[in-house]
Amino acid sequence: ALKGINFEVRPGEIFGLLGPNGAGKTSLISIITTLEKPSSGDVKVFGTSVSEDSNKTKKQIGIVPQEVVSSGFFNLEEILNYHSCYYGIKENSVQIKRLLDRLKLTEHKHKMMRQLSGGMKRRMMIAKALVHQPKVLLLDEPTAGVDVELRNQLWDFVRELQKEGVSVVLTTHYLQEAEALCDRV
């Protein structure tokens, strides 16, 4: 599905990968994040090959996968602190507070993931992807199965990130979403 694919995402751009289920969108995201190895070719993040220096490239990328990943026995604040440490950030309370506030999760910060609604879980996945302030955000079908209000809130937040200079790669099979958000598809 990815044979011959070649593209570049500019700083601060929202780049859309539009296609039906099975087109290879998630496979591409998995290759960018080194979860899968390409059979040929290379992926570079800000000039660095993901296969040659995956640690450097991973620090520049945040990912919101299609599936909500539950974090067992930790509350939201603990998850974000733990995830910050994964990126070598031991004190990240200002960024964590900013994300919890912006994504309307502050009043739920002491809850476990399993106690949240589907929409709140989706917002938490976005907070987790942004806790280390990446330069690139990969959104793998972030609005699949969410209500219209949450979809619009997510779109607004993505536009804010773009204004902050974050590059966004959005995979979707919704033409309306690609047209509404993306600079290029």
* Average pLDDT of the residues in 56-60: 92
- For residue 1, pLDDT over 80 is answered with no
Residues sharing a CB contact under 8 Å with residue 94, sequence separation 6 or more, in sequence order: none
Compute the distance between CA of residue 48 and CA of residue 44 in angstroms, rounded to an integer: 5
Compute the distance between CA of residue 49 and CA of residue 10 in angstroms, rounded to an integer: 16
Compute the distance between CA of residue 14 and CA of residue 25 in angstroms, rounded to an integer: 15
- 3-state SS assignment for residue 66: coil
The answer to whether 128 and 83 have CB atoms below 8 angstroms apart is yes
Share of the chain above pLDDT 90, in %: 63
- For residue 154, pLDDT over 90 is answered with no
* 20: confidence class by pLDDT, cuts 50, 70, 90: confident
The answer to whether 119 and 150 have CB atoms below 8 angstroms apart is yes
* 69: confidence class by pLDDT, cuts 50, 70, 90: confident
- For residue 70, pLDDT over 80 is answered with no
Compute the distance between CA of residue 107 and CA of residue 139 in angstroms, rounded to an integer: 25
- For residue 173, pLDDT over 80 is answered with yes
- Say which DSSP state 170 is in: E
Residue 145, token pair as written in the block: 């199965």
The answer to whether 167 and 12 have CB atoms below 8 angstroms apart is yes
Residue 109, token pair as written in the block: 């910060």
- 3-state SS assignment for residue 148: helix
Residues sharing a CB contact under 8 Å with residue 150, sequence separation 6 or more, in sequence order: 119, 122, 123, 143
- Got the DSSP string for 70-122? P-TT-BHHHHHHHHHHHTT-S--HHHHHHHHHHTT-GGGTTSBGGGS-HHHHH
